[in-house]
Structure 1
Amino acid sequence: MAVEAPQGAAAVAFGSSSGRAVGSRPSESLLDGSHGSPVGSWPRNLAGITILQSVIQSWEEGTAQLGLSPSKAEKTVAAGMAAVSMTVILGNGCSSRLWTDSWAPVGPLCHFEPNLFAAISNAGRRRSVKDGLFQNRWARDIVGALTTHADRFTWKWSADGKYSASSTYRAFFAGLTVLLGAKELWKTKAAPRVKFFLWLALHRRLWTADRCKQHGHQDDDACFVCGQAAETSDHLFLGCVITRELWFSLLAPVGLTALVPEGAEDIGPWWRPQRQRLDHDARPSFDSLMLLISWSIWKERNNRTFSRAVAGTQELLRNVVREAEDWVQAGFETLAVVCPIWSCNTVVM
């Protein structure tokens, strides 16, 4: 809660068996070194703080009825409670203490800069905000050396604390969310509309039969290519029996039989590990090949769905080869290494 501290208000007192004077601040005993580092402070003028005063008064009355008095530990806890519960709305700065009251956005300065506070004299620790800031009197209250070591600057973005351009560059991308397939798809040589198509496929945003059924657009979710299972993206591109036959017929002539999909899988997690199995120089061709086959499967699916035109396996293979040749003529040279092999292969043609 925020507390405004006007001048002239009576200070709250902690009754104790040690004979502390009425009106003394509970945190003063914490600043003389007997209780270690300061845990907070209590404003001298607390007009209007009726709730916390009532709690403390009820606690003291309860302990008094039992013939007990607050211990030092209990007073420390109470002072800490006051420190974390109250802030000062700064007015003229005459009543709030510069170092131990919570008048700044960072809280008590003794907590914010404990090393500097340790070098402040006892008199300086009791200065008000107004008195301490006037002509920088707080600086003249420094009586001890802050440290004997030279200043050292550390860079937070590197493990050894030293600046580096690479750590700075990585810091600009801290918290970056990596999108599935974004890096690989960006570098793949293919037409923009084909890239956009595969982006939708990677994130399950193609209007396959199962998605249309989920949205109430149709009652049946059977695969339009094979008719043997629900048409999901996983099934359509990698699990369908006709799709797998197409993959095998196109990958076998170029020596990539090991990369033929074995069943329905998510196309994104399947694509990335498969390309890692190839040499770095062969990956661009495989990436374009993967987009080409997936795009051809999607076009065949749409032909069967909307035009009721069904292409046989051999016709579908020839369509893929012609599409690949068109891509090469359009400037996507990554497929130039496979087109001659497909054209000479009797299985494909």
Structure 2
Amino acid sequence: MAVDFPLWAIKAVDKLRRSFLWRGRKDALGGHCLVAWGKVTRPLELGGLGIYDLKYLGWALKMRWAWLKKTETHRPWAALPIQIPDQVKAFFSVAFVSEVGNGKHTLFWTDHWIFGQRVVDLAPRLFEAIPIRRVKQCTVHEALTERSWVFYVKGALTVGVIVDFLHLWEVLYNFELEPDVEDVHIWRLSNSGQYSAKSTYEGFFLGSMLFRPYERIWKTWAPPKCRFFLWHFWYLLLRQVGLHSLSPQPSDIYFDSWWEKASSATSGLILKGLNSLIVLGAWSIWNHRNRCVFYGTAPSLDGALTLLERSVGCGV
């Protein structure tokens, strides 16, 4: 949180993590890594394994400095010029919105405080005519007191600047500060409105496609390494527990669609047991397939079922 983790160090740690994940040892060749590391470090619901991306995690933790500096100005280090990467600053600027009271802890030009927007977005050409010192330091309270913001314009008065000036004047015309009310800052990424490292880290994956079956894979009783791979064969397996009516039909083309349909037909412990069996069955098929390919074992449904029974019996 306090120090930038060098890129070379992140790469060195990730090399060890990849090797341990795929080979259980210190070193692994590229061919041993079956899934790209960027996919592995996605959250479970986005199709990854939930292993932290160290760069994003570091940025999420660093954002706590910026948040505390914004919301708890009484801290002894709040006035210090803490160094924060540009990527963190950019993310932080859009991660919170301010509800202005007295305006003393909200930046006039760059914070989201006017109907969730920033002055720089409402009047970009006017913003270009403001000295950088004013941009960084000017609070809403300072800018609106006696309409001081009007006198900050130092650049050329082009048509665009004048148009933006008039627009901003109209927006702010009836805005009034509340001297006895403190500004409130709301973290957009969490339901509570307060910063958390978890919500911030997950924010780096906003816009990613949801991996729909992740709950059916990971929230089961099947051992973790079984949940790592999935495939198909189900009637003989499900018949043993009286669930053969849920086995795939000729019209079921896609594994995920069948699994979703079968899961929706059950609930409670039966649902969890069904999902566990499907994961265990897929693991057995994958294992049996490997024995056929690499050791010359003859393909056999009975062989796959026997392998599953042995796996369950020894805890996989």
TM-score (norm 2): 0.39
- By relative contact order (CA 8 Å, sep 6+), the higher-ranking structure is 2
Q: Which has the larger radius of gyration?
A: 1
